[in-house]
Structure 1
Amino acid sequence: MVAVVVLVIIVVVALLAGVHWYVWRRMVRDTTAPGGTARRVGTVVLWVLPLLSLGALMSGRAGAPFEVQQVLAWPGFLWLAVLLYLVLALVVGEAVRPVLRRALAYSGRAAAPGPGDVSASASGEGPTATGTAVSPAPGDAASAGARTDVLAFGDEAVVAPASRAAAPAVTAGPGDGGVATKALVSPDTGDAASAGTRTDVRGSGDVSVATEAVVSSAPGDARAGGAPAAAGASPAEEAVASGDGAVATKAVVSPDTGDAAPPPGDAPRGALSRRLFVARIVGGAAATAALGTVGYGAYGVLRGPRVKRVTVPLAKLPRAAHGYRIAVVSDIHLGPVLGRAHTQRIVDSINATQPDLVAVVGDLVDGSVADLGPAAEPLAGLRSRDGAFFVTGNHEYFSGADAWVDHVRELGLRPLRNERVEIAGGFDLAGVDDVAGESEGQGPDFVKALGDRDRSRAAVLLAHQPVVIHDAVGQGVDLQLSGHTHGGQLWPGNLLAGLANPTVAGLERYGDTQLYVSRGAGAWGPPVRVGAESDITVVELAARRA
């Protein structure tokens, strides 16, 4: 058993490490310059946040002071929610990246100017320039020229060469995201072809790339290392880089074709700057989507639960109990994030419905009575005709179930621990301990709670987890009221909750027994709900004979 637990821990840690590496790669490495301040800060943040999350998860059970738990809980738990939606957004972005790159490449080719054009334009924050200059050598068999095309899209510019270079300088001034090109040729009069150097500078954000091409076609010329050998050649290059880094590469131009061949391993022209541009667009969109989703989900929890109303017809319910209203609240989860103010909002919402009975269906707290007793005190203000009842949830057994049972009794709630009471008007109300109590020799006892009752009367069962519905069916229960699932809390958590529970949320029928599952009034871990709004449900019983 110990080996299984250790294996699970190793798998979970490895998974979290892999997820954080993926986020670092896409959000930090792909969008920042090596060695830059932004990359260093991003790396530190992605080390600190998971450590805070680990501290938030473990501090309570490790017995850390409650004040420490509160400090760790907010950033640690919120990061878990942000991480979930950031990863989902980045995964979607993987399909978007190649589409954006192709679109930018196409727009760049479509915007390329014709030969002989000299122009300058601005797109984004910096200037771009395109130009062609031709300087024929008197008596040459063929003239030589150079054209540099600067293609701009967004905050990116790419310089695309067009032909052999033998031209004066064409430059565009530096600036944010600016591009500069310069070509200088000193022809050797009388040679079959001239020699020269062409330099293309491409810049986008923090990275600029300068590419130099050397043309030399003098007869008998031999080149090594890309250096021109033609006599009298006067190569010149200039790279204007904006941002944290610049890269220069030199390519040799074939005398036969005039094409520049980059050194082995070099990326195609424009690929680096285009990749950076796309990485920032996708990363920014993913961060915006994740933060917006988590922010809205946190607002929903901190605002307080909405009140829902559900009518449930019961065949055995007498007319006298028709319209009986039970306010069902579960999964309040008082803890280092949700405290006394959260409890007061819930109590106020319940009292406003003027219920006949209040049912608190487990998972009231995530902590000890010593730490959270004051946060639970507003429960003493619950008002209903037939009182308020309480059953344990699995989290009570992580927090000292017996102590909490005693405390809620002091606050005026009646715990139902595998017992039943008769409600005036004609139905039985039973409650069982949560299945998590079995580890402490407690747990649900359906025979004790329901075994000797009069089955001609309608029975309503309070049980925290929906999984006990089949036991309820066997005991002839008419309606079971449960919580536990949170409705999944964070989409797509509802899919996982559906694998472990017969019903994730709402009302369903199992034989002659109906099961209603509340999404809960609080949140565990991240104080965030997405696709599973918190609720308090007023269940109105209806007599079919009414």
Structure 2
Amino acid sequence: MAIVFVLVALLVVAVLVTGNWYVWRRLFRDTTAGPGPVRRIGAAVIAGGWLLFIGSMVASRVEAPFTLQRVLAWPGSLWLALTLYLVLALLVGELVRPVLRRLLERRAAKPAPAPAPAHDLIPAGRPEGPETTVAESDATTTPDPAESGAAAADPAAGGSTAAGAAGAGAGPSRRLFVSRVVGGAAAAAAAGTVGYGTYGVLRGPKVKRVTVPLAKLPRAAHGYRIAVVSDIHLGPVLGRGFAQKVVDTINSTQPDLIAVVGDLVDGSVRDLGPAAAPLAQLTARHGSFFVTGNHEYFSGAEQWVEEVRRLGLNPLENARTELPHFDLAGVNDLAGEDEGQGPDFARALGDRNRARACVLLAHQPVQIHEAVDHGVDLQLSGHTHGGQLWPGNLIARGANPTLAGLDRYGDTQLYVSRGAGAWGPPTRVGAPSDITVIELASRQA
């Protein structure tokens, strides 16, 4: 096992080193004519960005002063996203590079305009006609052989050798021009992508509405609204202001019930208690409920369970509550197994009346299979972020039965939220954040 870990670690390091060398080469080496300060500055920028990222990770692990964590987290996490999209944009540039070079070569190969006829080159003021003597004509049109040879031998004299040198120099100049165009376009595309994706997160999640019919739901519960929010990820980057946006957005939907399905925080209650305080303002007719996500176990799940309870939320730790028209259950996240606090479906669902509809809160979509075995009608999950940063959705899709949205597994339906916040870079590309209002529909209505 240790050997496998070392090999994987070496592979990761090799990929990172190769990727960063590639970025430096295309953005700084290939866009300059030779060694100089630009190349050194480029190397310093790339190395500095990774030092900030590593520093932010270490600071959070050792619980450094929270102010230091915030100072390092912003540039460090954004550098991670920027590097990803620089590499992708430069790889796309490899397809553009030969096309642009070929266009420039064709343009350079076009024949120059033909020189004007000799009789059109008579200096102004010199009369045309027989007054121009043969001697004068010979003097103006026939170069001295010695001078001609000297010009050919001396490039500075503008002879044929100089012309050949200019033609040879066109190749490197053309390559430099193409590298600068492609490198500049890639840098602009990467910066624009990360900037827009970050703006989307900081702006706050949008409301998504989904209707879910449940066969066992009584007519009296038709139209019941559950506001589902997951993956808020309060931490050194997303703080109290972001939490307030999330709370205000949820309350604006006027739900009957609020479900917070894990990954609320990335940090301790000591550091993030003030950031989570707006959760006390959540308002719903049947209350707010909470289940742990894997990040709660990285941050101290027990202290956060107590904190959300103090803020007015109802933790469902492998537990169930009977609401007027259906059962609401919740199970702990799989990450709790290492602490003896993993999911216990039998405890949460084993003795319930299966004639009643049941909604289950479970952070990870992979828990759907046990939900099916226990006759759950609807499971509400998060965890995937919808991939968060394209093409991360391809990896997330392979690791989860459902990446985002509503799906069905036997008689059990699964809804996966893309989440309200972001982990790592406060950036989303191709996976916008959301708060989902699930409207339950009775088939008897």
Fold similarity call, TM over 0.5: yes
Query: Equivalents in 2 of 1:405, 1:530: separation in Å?
Result: 31
Code of the residue aligned with 2:279 in structure 1: it is L
Map 1:407-486 → 2, pairs under 5 A: 407-424=307-324, 426-486=325-385
How many correspondences in the alignment?
Answer: 425
Residue 117 (structure 1) shift: 9.4
CA distance in 2 between counterparts of 1:53 and 1:352 reads 36
Question: For structure 1, which segment, 515-524 or 69-78, has the greater mean C-alpha deviation from structure 2 after superposition?
Answer: 69-78
- Kept in 2, the 8 Å contact 1:33–1:39? The answer is no
User: Percent identity of the aligned residues?
Assistant: 67
* Residue 301 of structure 1, aligned match among 193, 198, 201: 201
> Relative contact order (alpha carbons < 8 A, sep ≥ 6): 1 or 2 greater?
2
C-alpha separation in 2, matches of 1:308 and 1:19: 37
Structure 1 pair 12–251 and aligned structure 2 pair: CA distance change class (3 A): farther
Report the secondary structure of 2:428's partner residue: coil
* Residues 167-203 of structure 1: CA deviation (Å, up to 9, x unaligned): 8xxxxxxxxxxxxxxxxxx7339xxxx52345xxxxx
Q: Distance in 2 between matches of 1:267 and 1:449?
A: 80
Instruction: Write the deviation string for residues 238-290 of structure 1: whole angstroms up to 9, x where unpaired.
Output: 79xxxxxxxxxx9989xxxxx96x8xxx9944110000100011011111111
Aligned twin of 1:47: 47
Q: Does 1:342 align with 2:242?
A: yes
Aligned to 1:195: 149
Q: Distance in 2 between matches of 1:416 and 1:76?
A: 35
Residue equivalent to 1:292:
192
CA distance in 1, matches of 2:32, 2:53: 25
CA distance in 2 between counterparts of 1:369 and 1:251 reads 79
Retained in 2: the 8 A contact 1:362–1:464? yes
Counterpart check, 1:282 vs 2:182: yes
**After alignment, is 67-76 or 389-398 more displaced?**
67-76
Unaligned ranges ≥5, structure 2? 119-140
Structure 1 stretches lacking a partner, 5+ long: 119-144, 146-165, 168-185, 199-213, 215-234, 240-249, 254-258
Deviations 1:112-152 (A, max 9, x none): 3335799xxxxxxxxxxxxxxxxxxxxxxxxxx9xxxxxxx
1:50-69 to 2 correspondence within 5 Å? 50-69=50-69
Amino acid at match of 2:295: H
Separation in 2 of the partners of 1:32 and 1:345? 46
The one-letter code matched in structure 2 to 1:286 is A
SS at match of 1:316: coil
Q: What CA distance in whole angstroms lies between the structure 2 residues aligned with 1:58 and 1:9?
A: 17
**Matched residues in 2 for 1:20 and 1:518: separation?**
33
- Kept in 1: contact 2:33–2:176 (CA 8 A): no
1:490–1:530 Cα contact (<8 Å) kept:
yes
Read off the aligned partner of 1:355 and give its amino acid letter: P
Amino acid at match of 1:345: K
Question: CA separation of 1:116/1:299 partners in 2, compared to 1, >3 Å: closer, same or farther?
Answer: same
Q: Residues 505 and 516 of structure 1 are in contact (CA less than 8 Å); yes or no, is this contact kept in structure 2? A: yes
Q: Secondary structure at the match of 2:234?
A: coil
| Matches of 1:103 and 1:236, distance apart in 2 | 29
- Find the counterpart in structure 1 of residue 84 from structure 2: 84
> What is the aligned partner in structure 2 of residue 312 from structure 1?
212
| Residue number in structure 1 paired with 2:135 | none
Cα distance in 1 for residues equivalent to 2:207 and 2:421: 13
Alignment partner, residue 519 of structure 1 = 418
The amino acid across from 1:96 in the alignment is: V
- Counting only pairs closer than 5 Å after superposition, residues 354-433 of structure 1 correspond to structure 2 as 354-424=254-324, 426-433=325-332
Question: Pairwise CA RMSD of aligned residues?
Answer: 2.5
* Cα distance, 1:360–1:406 mapped onto 2, change above 3 Å: same
* Aligned residue in 2 for 1:528: 427
Instruction: State the match for 2:136 in structure 1.
Output: none
- Residue type of the alignment partner of 1:8: V
Letter in structure 1 aligned against 2:27 = M
Query: Match of 1:523, SS?
Result: coil
Counterpart for residue 153 of structure 1:
none
Could you give the per-residue CA deviations for residues 421-461 of structure 1, whole angstroms, max 9, x where no partner exists?
A: 0011x200000000011111111110111011000000000
Letter in 2 for 1:495: L
Larger helix proportion, structure 1 or 2?
Answer: 2
Q: Taking structure 2 as the reference length, what is the TM-score of the superposition?
A: 0.90
Q: Give 1:350 deviation, angstroms.
A: 0.6
Query: What's the secondary structure of 1:307's corresponding residue?
Result: strand
- Give 1:319 shift: 1.1
Q: Which amino acid aligns with 1:32?
A: T
**For the Cα contact (< 8 Å) 2:224–2:441, is it kept in 1?**
yes
Partner amino acid, structure 2, of 1:487? G
Q: Distance in 2 between matches of 1:525 and 1:117?
A: 71
Q: Which residue of 1 aligns with 2:24?
A: 24
Would you identify which runs of 4 or more consecutive aligned residues in structure 1 move more than 6 Å?
250-253
1:467 and 1:117 map into 2 onto residues whose CA distance is 83
Q: CA separation in 2, counterparts of 1:495 and 1:482?
A: 19
Provide the C-alpha distance between the structure 2 equivalents of 1:187 and 1:338, rounded to a whole number of angstroms.
Answer: 80
TM-score (norm 1): 0.74
User: Aligned letter for 1:196?
Assistant: A
Match for residue 131 of structure 2?
none
Using the TM superposition, give the Cα deviation of residue 385 of structure 1 relative to its aligned residue in structure 2, in angstroms: 0.6
Larger Rg: 1
CA distance in 2, matches of 1:474, 1:117: 94
